[in-house]
Amino acid sequence: MQQENPENPQARIEQQIDRLRQIDELRDLGKGRQGICINFKDRVYKFLNLNRNNNLSIEELRRMNQNELHYLQLLTSSDYTCEVQSNECDDENLWITTAYMNLGTLDMDCLFNQQQQFLEMETIRIICVRLLNILNYFHNNRIFHLDVNPTNILFHEEFQFFHENRQNDLELPIEQGLQSLSQDLRAPQKKQLHLVDNKIHDYTNLQYILNQKFSNLQPNQRGYLIEYRFADEHVAQLVFWIRRWLKLQNRETFNPKCIQVKKGIRICFCDFGLSRSFENNDFNRPEFRDGPYKTPYEILGRIVYQNERIEAWKIARYQDLFCLGITMMNLLINNGYAEIEPFKEDEKDLEQFLQQTYGLHQLKNACHPDDYKELLTYYVILRWLEQNMNNDQTLRLIYRMLKFNFNFTSDIPLNLQEDQDIPLENIKTVQNFCRLLTEQYG
């Protein structure tokens, strides 16, 4: 590519936008502090937001994009991000390109006080467990998102693989199974071709290949892959993605005849601009001021544990889980499952609660008044959960995510194995409804 105005980022961005516009229609997706997201075909370009009002220098913004790209690449073999399209990203970090997630975000504020289409409680439960598992996957790899909020969680309707477990299944070791599968999937050829795998393993390409054969599947209905024949280069792509998927399932064996394809919903994170990773021995206490919600740990940690050093990764984990807890509470409220009464300024219970939790008096005076108000909102939510959770699994989970941020001494082992299908119809209906409302009311 031509060396154009490296010192004039705005011009370079505009040039790229113009180039895209000449090929196909562009659609604005969102303008945030870090980036301006534009949908082009089945991709999203996140251009640096060079608007002067955001108080960040171009260098800081560039670093955020660089950081985001780094984490997207680190997590590329997971199903938990929108796939980065490395060959479409800018060498100078002025934009990054990912696959377009077609069902919107978890941000459903528009539903609040509408009495029509809601997510079912069961759907919310599955989403909650799924998101926890995703964060656990990140954390097990010492990666912390640090900007968990409803606008950074995306849904995507897509073709997915599924392994049907049948009794007396003859399973083969992965490589052997893939070899056998690739033989079976290949269309009969006049002359034997070598299996050339020279295409970039592009996720949108995988979706395109599967759509050729499975476009008639009903939501969550499945079809057997083995019943179709594919061109050699498509077989190579399929084998690549199935191998990746089997690894993600921690499988060591499988039966090629049992691979099914279904149309389902993926849920994943975007926006890794603030993400960080920590080593085990990283003891510096970081300030996570950029996060969306100020956590109880941020407010109280320095007051309660003045002389103690808490490992950075733990604080990062507190933050991610806390933000997920609040995100889930927003979802419950917007969908009409939780009605939280506004707190009273002279709330005495909080003082008592803090005293009981930390054994310290006068914590109120040690906090900034705004911070204390923040604590009060969280406390009112905690109290609502305590009164309403009974044996409800989802509410209990959310409670744990929030509560342990007040008790920051022990971690919660969160290893929820369950991974159910996300109810596709329910999400699609509600997302369409959200889209309509947003169009109507802005």
Ligand X SMILES: Nc1ncnc2c1ncn2[C@@H]1O[C@H](COP(=O)(O)OP(=O)(O)OP(=O)(O)O)[C@@H](O)[C@H]1O
Enumerate binding residues for Mg ion (CB under 5 A): 32, 151-152, 271
Residue nearest to ligand X (CB): 32
CB of 273 to ligand X, least distance (A): 5
Q: Choose the one of ligand X, Mg ion, none that binds residue 34, judging by a C-beta under 5 to 8 angstroms depending on kind.
A: ligand X
Q: Choose the one of Mg ion, ligand X, none that binds residue 101, judging by a C-beta under 5 to 8 angstroms depending on kind.
A: ligand X
CB of 431 to ligand X, least distance (A): 12
Q: Among candidates 260, 1, 312, which has minimal Cα distance to 144? A: 312
| Alpha-helical regions (H) of 149-198 | 174-185
Q: Choose the one of ligand X, Mg ion, none that binds residue 100, judging by a C-beta under 5 to 8 angstroms depending on kind.
A: ligand X
Task: Decide: 143 and 74 in contact? Cβ < 8 Å.
Answer: yes
Task: Decide: 402 and 325 in contact? Cβ < 8 Å.
Answer: yes
- Give whichever of 37 and 427 is closer to Mg ion, judged by the CB atom: 37
CB of 33 to ligand X, least distance (A): 4
In angstroms and rounded to an integer, the radius of gyration of the C-alpha atoms of the chain is 24
- Give whichever of 107 and 232 is closer to Mg ion, judged by the CB atom: 107
- Give whichever of 154 and 238 is closer to ligand X, judged by the CB atom: 154
Q: Choose the one of ligand X, Mg ion, none that binds residue 119, judging by a C-beta under 5 to 8 angstroms depending on kind.
A: none
Q: Choose the one of ligand X, Mg ion, none that binds residue 98, judging by a C-beta under 5 to 8 angstroms depending on kind.
A: ligand X
- Give whichever of 151 and 388 is closer to Mg ion, judged by the CB atom: 151
CB of 104 to ligand X, least distance (A): 7
Q: What angle do CA 208, 213, 214 make, to 5 degrees?
A: 90
Count CB-CB contacts under 10 A for residue 147: 23
DSSP code string of 365-389 = HHS-HHHHHHHHHHHHHHHHHHHH-
Q: Choose the one of ligand X, Mg ion, none that binds residue 405, judging by a C-beta under 5 to 8 angstroms depending on kind.
A: none
The per-residue b/e assignment along 176-212, b for 16 or more CB within 10 angstroms, e otherwise, is ebbeebbeebbeeeeeeeeeeeeeeebbebbbebbee
Beta strand residue intervals within 200-256, DSSP E: 222-224, 253-254
- Give whichever of 154 and 324 is closer to ligand X, judged by the CB atom: 154
Residues near ligand X (CB under 6 A) are 29-30, 32-35, 37, 44, 46, 82, 98, 100-101, 105, 151-152, 154, 270-271, 273
Task: Decide: 111 and 334 in contact? Cβ < 8 Å.
Answer: yes
Task: Decide: 295 and 405 in contact? Cβ < 8 Å.
Answer: yes
- Give whichever of 105 and 394 is closer to ligand X, judged by the CB atom: 105
Q: For residue 427, how far is the Cα from the chain centroid?
A: 16
- Give whichever of 143 and 376 is closer to Mg ion, judged by the CB atom: 143
CB of 266 to Mg ion, least distance (A): 18
The set of residues, in sequence order, having a beta carbon less than 8 Å from that of 182 and lying 6+ positions away, is 195, 235, 236, 238, 239
Q: Choose the one of Mg ion, ligand X, none that binds residue 44, judging by a C-beta under 5 to 8 angstroms depending on kind.
A: ligand X
CB of 93 to Mg ion, least distance (A): 17
CB of 100 to ligand X, least distance (A): 5
Q: Choose the one of ligand X, Mg ion, none that binds residue 126, judging by a C-beta under 5 to 8 angstroms depending on kind.
A: none
